[in-house]
């Protein structure tokens, strides 16, 4: 059978087919979900890091020191290092941890190493024959916390030991934890007693209270010692007063920026 010749599409028919194809493509596109890009200006910005804490300046550390007026009578500016410092605190022992404590007490430096700002003052109580040393320091938080951890370990590791002074006198040393006010971000207190006999058979007892408190990124350190009555209330008063003074200085410094 002869084949029927193909029919040619007229221009009008081609137009109709083109329109139908366009409508089909549009319908398919409308049914497919598409990703909508948020304009860069509308995107939330990445979380910014908090500003680094402002480092305590030397002038601020000096202003944060406690004074004799802060603690009241009978405290007065120191007249020099106490005689018992060289005679009794300059001592050594076999245990490295306990020797480190004796060295820190003698040098009046619990933290050691290089620091930023550091201010120191000394006060004397002529009635009880005691001497107080007060420091304000700018130290890194990890370094301070490591030292506080070491101090906390001393009642366990060096609760009782024997030390020998530079003059050959044998001392019995005890280390106990001391209560401090719940102030600052971290703190540790110790009471250290060093007992020895004189050539005449008399007993000499040196009592040392030690306290360190971290307040934010700043640290205060207090040592109070004497051969007579060493009241823990004086150490606590120095710590409480010092933390308040440091907060005032910090606040004043921020207001001036």
> Could you read off the pLDDT of 53-80 as tens digits, one per residue?
678 999 999 999 999 999 999 999 999 9
pLDDT, one tens digit for every residue, the chain (257 residues)? 444 444 444 444 444 434 444 334 444 444 444 444 545 444 544 455 555 567 899 999 999 999 999 999 999 999 998 889 998 999 999 999 999 999 999 999 999 866 789 999 999 999 889 999 999 999 999 999 999 999 999 999 999 999 999 989 999 999 999 999 999 999 999 999 999 987 777 899 999 999 999 999 899 999 999 998 899 999 999 999 999 999 999 988 654 44
Judge whether 16 lies within some domain: no
97, part of any domain: yes
Assigned domain for 143 exists: yes
Cis bond before residue 82 (omega within 30° of 0)? no
C-alpha torsion 88→158→213→89, nearest 10: 10
Number of folded domains that form the chain: 1
Reported as a single tens digit per residue, the pLDDT across 2-35 is 444 444 444 444 444 344 443 344 444 444 444 4
C-beta atoms surrounding 11 within 10 Å: 6
* Residue 113 confidence (pLDDT): 67
Query: Does residue 19 form part of some domain?
Result: no
Domain extent, residue 84, equals: 58-256
pTM equals 0.77
Please enumerate in sequence order all residues whose Cβ is within 8 A of that of 175, keeping only pairs 6 or more positions apart, or say none.
98, 101, 154, 155, 158, 159, 160, 190, 191, 192
Q: Is residue 21 part of a domain?
A: no
Asked if residue 145 is part of any domain, the answer here is yes
Of the candidates 230, 207, 249, 218, the residue with the CA atom closest to the CA atom of residue 89: 207
> What crossing angle do the helices spanning 96-107 and 141-157 adopt, rounded to 10°?
120
Q: Is residue 237 part of a domain?
A: yes
Q: Enumerate the β-bridge partners of residue 174.
A: 160, 193
Examine residue 31 and state whether it is found in any structural domain, yes or no. Answer: no
Specify the CATH number for the domain of residue 113. Answer: 3.40.1000.70
């Amino acid at each position: 059978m002869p084949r029927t010749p193909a029919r040619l599409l007229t221009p009008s028919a081609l137009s109709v087919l083109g329109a139908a194809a366009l409508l089909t493509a549009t319908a398919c596109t409308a049914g497919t979900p598409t990703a909508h890009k948020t304009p860069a200006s509308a995107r939330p910005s990445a979380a910014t890091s908090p500003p680094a804490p402002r480092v305590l300046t030397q002038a601020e550390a000096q202003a944060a020191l406690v004074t004799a007026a802060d603690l009241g009578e009978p405290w007065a500016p120191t007249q020099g290092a106490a005689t018992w410092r060289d005679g009794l605190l300059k001592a050594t022992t076999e245990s490295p941890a306990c020797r480190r404590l004796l060295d820190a007490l003698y040098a009046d430096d619990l933290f050691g190493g290089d620091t930023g700002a550091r201010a120191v003052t000394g006060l004397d109580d002529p009635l009880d024959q005691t001497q107080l040393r007060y420091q304000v320091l700018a130290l890194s938080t990890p370094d301070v916390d490591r030292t506080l951890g070491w101090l906390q370990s001393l009642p366990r590791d060096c609760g009782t030991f024997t030390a020998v002074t530079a003059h050959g006198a044998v001392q019995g040393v005890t280390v106990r934890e001391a209560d401090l006010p719940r102030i600052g971000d971290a703190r540790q207190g110790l009471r250290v007693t060093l007992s020895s006999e004189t050539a005449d058979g008399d007993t000499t007892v040196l009592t040392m209270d030690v306290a360190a408190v971290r307040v934010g990124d700043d640290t205060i350190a207090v040592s109070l010692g004497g051969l007579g009555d060493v009241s823990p209330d004086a150490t606590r008063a120095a710590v409480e007063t010092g933390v308040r003074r440091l907060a005032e200085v910090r606040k004043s410094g921020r207001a001036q920026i």
